[in-house]
């Protein structure tokens, strides 16, 4: 029986190990996917640091991946009722087992808060099987939502969007951007860059990205930012003043926090106009607290603050549609410039943590250390 290699985070802060697994049994309704690429994102760094709760170490990370359907057992249909076929380029929604029966699913219609949901590469461990993208092959279990990826989208372009694009689709939905809006995006990582692109595509007429370093700010311009603010050469009050100056003295209609620093939430409140909207998407892990003045920052400003948790099928679906249509305008492909082998997964984590690249792409079929 051929063995399948996968990179495993055995425990927080432990070196990443490449381990071998037997080819799994493929039950009816499941698909064995040959992994072309997966990614190493900020969430994986948090997995490595032990910052996420409910993670069953050892774990095969890689919640987003693209590959080729190698074996399909029984009939597995996509959302349009078309069967997934062997040889097809596919991806999947990393969230599995959203129950559709709980209060959050049925009454609040907030399936990303469903307590039953499990996430590939995050809340499934290596003991559950090949359920993470840092593996030569993945088992896409029955009930997992599989999406064909048009061949016009290269796997590298898909990965350049990756989880950041899905998250950005959700954030933009929560932001309810109107034609002509001014939008500030705090953060120039993969989520922030895709937020800038989608804000622009949504009709925002002024998109301002605040972030660093230089190469990411240059990318932000390519992703649709009209203005960029370098956080290394400015301080908080100065940046809020800059935003007011760029928005006729009022502040931005919408501010999207996509950087993960708690103080950025306060900064967002200082940049938004009265009765504007702040969307918080960057605080996926608990990075601490921040002091606010509820009177001046929230009540008197009459602002709306919205959180964004996870993503559902509609977000990956819409992200793919937008990518297919706008990949010539938005350079997602450029984000997938650093490719690593499984043996280099530890290095990739380190490079992301140290911000040496915006996104690290893992290619399980690649050999070499």
Which residues here bind Zn ion, judged by CB under 5 A?
Answer: 41, 43, 99, 102, 105, 114, 163
Closer by beta carbon to Zn ion, 102 or else 298: 102
Tell me whether residue 6 or residue 303 sits nearer to Zn ion (CB atom): 6
Q: Which is nearer to Zn ion, 105 or 336 (CB)?
A: 105
Give CA–CA dist 224/232, Å, rounded: 21
B/e letters for 234-252, b = 16+ CB within 10 Å, e = fewer, are eeeeebbebbbebbeeebb
d(CA 305, CA 286): 18
Q: How many residues does the chain have?
A: 369
Cis peptide before 213 (omega within 30 of 0): yes
**Residue 273 phi, psi dihedral angles, 5° rounding:** -80, 165
Minimum distance between the CB of residue 146 and Zn ion, rounded to whole angstroms?
Answer: 18
Looking at the Cβ atoms of 100 and 296, the one nearer to Zn ion is: 100
Give whichever of 41 and 183 is closer to Zn ion, judged by the CB atom. Answer: 41
Provide the strand spans (E) within the chain. 3-8, 17-22, 31-40, 65-72, 89-92, 95-96, 118-119, 137-140, 146-148, 182-186, 206-211, 227-230, 252-257, 272-280, 304-307, 338-340, 360-362
Q: What's the min distance (Å) between Cβ of 62 and Zn ion?
A: 9
How near is the Cβ of 228 to Zn ion at its closest, in Å? Answer: 24
Closer of 94 and 181 to Zn ion (Cβ): 94
Kindly state the smallest distance separating residue 303's Cβ from Zn ion, in Å.
29
Rounded least distance, CB 97 to Zn ion, Å: 9
Residue 175 token pair? 């932001």
Using an 8 Å Cβ cutoff, are 190 and 216 in contact?
no
CA separation for the pair 66, 149 (Å, rounded): 8
Q: How far is the CB of 234 from Zn ion (least distance, A)?
A: 28
Residue 128, number of CB atoms within 10 A of its CB:
16
Cβ closer to Zn ion: 163 or 322?
A: 163
On whether the CB atoms of residues 312 and 98 are closer than 8 A, the answer is yes
Closest CB 338 distance from Zn ion, rounded Å:
15
């Amino acid at each position: 029986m051929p063995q399948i290699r996968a990179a495993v985070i055995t425990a927080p802060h432990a070196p990443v190990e490449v381990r071998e697994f037997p080819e799994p049994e493929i039950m009816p309704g499941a698909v064995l996917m040959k992994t072309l690429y997966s990614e190493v994102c900020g969430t994986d760094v948090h997995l490595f640091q032990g910052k996420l709760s409910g993670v069953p170490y050892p774990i095969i990370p890689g919640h987003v991946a693209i590959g080729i359907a190698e074996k399909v057992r029984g009939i597995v249909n996509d959302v349009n009722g078309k069967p997934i076929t062997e040889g097809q380029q596919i991806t999947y929604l990393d969230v599995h087992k959203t129950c559709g029966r709980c209060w959050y699913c049925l009454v609040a219609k907030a399936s990303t808060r469903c307590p039953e949901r499990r996430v590939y590469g995050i809340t499934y461990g290596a003991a559950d099987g090949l359920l993470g993208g840092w593996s030569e092959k993945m088992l896409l279990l029955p009930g997992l939502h599989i999406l064909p990826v048009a061949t016009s989208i290269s796997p590298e372009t898909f990965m350049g969007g990756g989880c950041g694009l899905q998250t950005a689709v959700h954030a933009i939905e929560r932001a309810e951007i109107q034609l002509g809006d001014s939008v500030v995006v705090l953060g120039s990582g993969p989520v922030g860059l895709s937020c800038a692109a989608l804000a622009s595509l949504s009709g925002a007429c002024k998109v301002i990205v605040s972030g660093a370093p230089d190469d990411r700010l240059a990318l932000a311009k390519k992703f649709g930012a009209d203005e960029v603010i370098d956080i290394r050469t400015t301080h908080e009050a100065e940046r809020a003043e800059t935003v007011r100056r760029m928005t006729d003295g009022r502040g931005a209609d919408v501010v999207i926090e996509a950087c993960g620093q708690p103080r950025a939430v306060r900064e967002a409140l200082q940049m938004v106009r009265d009765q504007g909207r702040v969307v918080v998407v960057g605080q996926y892990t608990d990075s601490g607290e921040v002091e606010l003045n509820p009177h001046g920052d929230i009540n008197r400003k009459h602002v709306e603050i919205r959180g964004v948790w996870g993503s559902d099928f509609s977000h990956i679906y819409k992200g793919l549609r937008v990518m297919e249509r706008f990949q010539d305008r938005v350079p997602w492909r450029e984000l997938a410039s650093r490719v690593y082998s499984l043996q280099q997964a530890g290095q990739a984590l380190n490079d992301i943590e140290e911000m040496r690249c915006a996104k690290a792409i893992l290619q399980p079929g690649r050999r070499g250390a």
